[in-house]
């Protein structure tokens, strides 16, 4: 994992031991002087850097802000978020056939997805910058989280959604939490292009995962998984399987592990293998891993029922590809039918997730069948959003209601059929 080292002597631009660095050319920038999303020299992605990286002993409290020692601030606009369950799924574990399988259910965050972890930190940074309008492009969950956290902070929020392609629960959340919703006649990637332009013109502060501080919040998923798994099993998981859209989470988890290695809190050999799962109809990251590319090719036409990962141009690919490779992980594409099947299986074991989240389980299954994942592995699958986010998908995947007469005898007869 030398490829993306976290060299830690603070440049002049640093503020309280925090700065931004370009992952391509190494240029360093002041973190909170003005909104900055990409390197002014080479357009590369930026990453938050710290003078010091904490060890597990430096963490206290609960939720995202338990990890304040690894974040740019001590506290932020909080609902609160994080501290999500690491479910046991014994039937699925036996069926998949691994040493252990746990499901980290990020759908249990305040607005029902892991995006809340990024927003609590991102909105705190927005306050530091003194901006008066927040914006994002979204396949849905980012808009719900931004609307809630922006509303909580009392700042105007603007969300750009691909018209007709966002699950009902997510639009409802963004609307009720008070965002202005702009429905764009185009896909998610087009929405992101537009909102990035608005941000560059100074019209709004961008809170997509291109924003490096979003990923700082999401990094805490990695810390939580390691701490919970260690507490229960006295070891770390071998592999973390997660759905991939813009690849922000993949990049964020990798950063969490690099920081712990840098701090001497984790051995390189203990870092879990990051394993990304995409839908077959939207799989540029899988293509890049399979073909050994340094960056993804933009897929113009993407389609999947897992709308949260219906993304053809993953903005964080240059951070996430080294994460998958550097940890010895892999990436795999799954069919929509396999996603729906996994969603149903999880739900029958009591864990309700939206389709994109179930991709992690579908991907694990496929990798077990191909022998890529061994039967002696300890695996954590990340489920990113709650079942109720996409009620239409849930209704389609679940059983049909059975019409019966308003009569006990008739109902008994029906049940006996
Ligand atoms: C945002 C989102 C993803 C994709 O995460 P990335 O960090 O963009 O790869 C996956 N699942 C759900 C439910 C999401 O909301
Ligand atoms: Zn640069």
Arithmetic mean of pLDDT, 160-184:
96
Last residue of a domain, one of 145, 178, 210: 210
Arithmetic mean of pLDDT, 150-167:
96
**Residue 335 falls inside a structural domain:** yes
pLDDT digits (tens, 9 = 90+) for 214-256: 999 999 999 999 999 999 999 999 999 999 999 999 999 999 9
pLDDT at 58: 98
The preferred substitution site among 104, 248, 311 for testing ligand 1, maximizing ligand atoms within 8 Å of CB, is 248
Arithmetic mean of pLDDT, 9-28:
95
Arithmetic mean of pLDDT, 386-392:
97
Q: Which of 177, 117, 101, 110 is nearest to 143 (CA)?
A: 177
**Ligand 1 neighbour 384 (Cβ under 6 A):** yes
Q: Are 162 and 278 found together in one domain?
A: no
**Residue 2 falls inside a structural domain:** no
pLDDT beyond 80 at 258: yes
pLDDT at 5: 73
Q: Are 96 and 159 found together in one domain?
A: no
pLDDT at 3: 52
pLDDT at 117: 98
pLDDT at 4: 61
Count up the domains in the chain and report the number: 2
Q: Are 194 and 248 found together in one domain?
A: no
Contact status, residue 378 vs residue 393, Cβ threshold 8 Å: no
**Residue 366 falls inside a structural domain:** yes
**Backbone phi, then psi, for 132, in 5-degree steps?**
-115, 5
**Residue 274 bridge partners (DSSP):** 240
pTM exceeds 0.85, yes or no: yes
In the reported structure, the alpha carbon of residue 410 is separated from the centroid of ligand 1 by a whole-number distance in angstroms of 46
CATH of the domain at 170: 3.40.50.1100
pLDDT digits (tens, 9 = 90+) for 49-78: 999 999 999 999 999 999 999 999 999 999
Q: Are 171 and 246 found together in one domain?
A: no
**Ligand 1 neighbour 245 (Cβ under 6 A):** yes
In the reported structure, the alpha carbon of residue 243 is separated from the centroid of ligand 1 by a whole-number distance in angstroms of 7
Q: Are 121 and 91 found together in one domain?
A: no
Q: Are 376 and 280 found together in one domain?
A: yes
- The answer for residues whose C-beta is within 8 angstroms of residue 51's C-beta and 6 or more apart is 8, 9, 10, 14, 17, 18
Task: Please give the residue range of the domain that contains residue 273.
Answer: 86-111+215-397
Which atom, in ligand 1's list, is nearest to the CA of 276?
9
pLDDT above 90 covers what percent of the chain? Answer: 98
Last residue of a domain, one of 210, 230, 257: 210
**Residue 23 falls inside a structural domain:** no
pLDDT at 31: 98
- The answer for residues whose C-beta is within 8 angstroms of residue 97's C-beta and 6 or more apart is 368, 375
Arithmetic mean of pLDDT, 362-390:
98
E strand or H helix at 340: helix 336-348
**Residue 235 falls inside a structural domain:** yes
pLDDT at 1: 44
Which atom, in ligand 1's list, is nearest to the CA of 245?
9
Q: Are 151 and 233 found together in one domain?
A: no
Cα–Cα dist 134/244, whole Å: 24
């Amino acid at each position: 994992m030398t490829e993306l080292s976290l060299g830690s002597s603070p440049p002049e631009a640093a503020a309280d031991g925090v700065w931004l660095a370009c992952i391509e050319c190494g240029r360093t920038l002041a973190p909170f002087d003005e909104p900055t999303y990409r390197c002014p020299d080479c357009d590369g992605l930026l990453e938050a850097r710290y003078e010091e990286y904490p060890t597990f002993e430096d963490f206290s409290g609960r939720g995202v802000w338990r990890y304040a020692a690894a974040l740019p601030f001590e506290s932020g606009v909080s609902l609160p978020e994080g501290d999500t369950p690491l479910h046991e799924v014994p039937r699925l574990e036996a069926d998949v056939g691994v040493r252990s399988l746990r499901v980290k259910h990020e759908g249990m965050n305040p607005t029902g997805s892991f995006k809340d972890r990024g927003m609590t930190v991102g909105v705190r940074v927005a306050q530091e910058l003194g901006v008066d309008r927040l914006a994002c492009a979204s396949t849905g969950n980012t808009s719900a989280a931004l609307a809630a956290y922006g509303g909580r902070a009392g700042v105007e929020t603007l969300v750009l959604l691909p018209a007709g392609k966002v699950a009902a629960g997510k639009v409802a959340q963004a609307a009720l939490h008070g965002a202005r919703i702009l429905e764009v006649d185009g896909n998610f990637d087009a929405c992101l292009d537009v909102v990035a332009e608005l941000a560059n013109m100074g019209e709004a502060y961008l809170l997509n995962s291109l924003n490096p501080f979003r990923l700082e919040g999401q990094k805490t998923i990695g810390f939580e998984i390691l701490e919970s798994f260690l507490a229960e099993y006295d070891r770390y998981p071998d592999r973390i399987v997660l759905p991939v859209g813009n690849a922000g989470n993949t990049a964020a988890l990798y950063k969490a592990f690099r920081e712990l290695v840098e701090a001497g809190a984790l051995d390189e050999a203990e870092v879990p293998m990051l394993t990304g799962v995409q839908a077959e109809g939207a799989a540029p990251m899988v293509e890049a891993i399979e073909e050994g590319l340094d960056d993804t090719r933009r897929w113009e036409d993407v389609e999947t029922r897992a709308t949260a990962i219906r993304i053809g141009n993953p903005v964080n690919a240059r951070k996430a590809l080294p994460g998958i490779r550097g940890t010895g992980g892999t990436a795999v594409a799954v069919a929509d039918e396999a996603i729906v099947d996994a969603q149903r299986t999880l739900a029958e074991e009591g864990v309700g997730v939206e389709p994109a989240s179930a991709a992690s389980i579908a991907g694990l299954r496929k990798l077990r069948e191909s022998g890529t994942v061994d039967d002696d592995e300890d695996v954590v699958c990340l489920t990113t959003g709650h079942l109720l986010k996409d009620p239409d998908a849930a209704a389609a995947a679940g059983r049909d209601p059975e019409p019966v007469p308003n009569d006990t005898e008739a109902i008994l007869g029906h049940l006996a059929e």
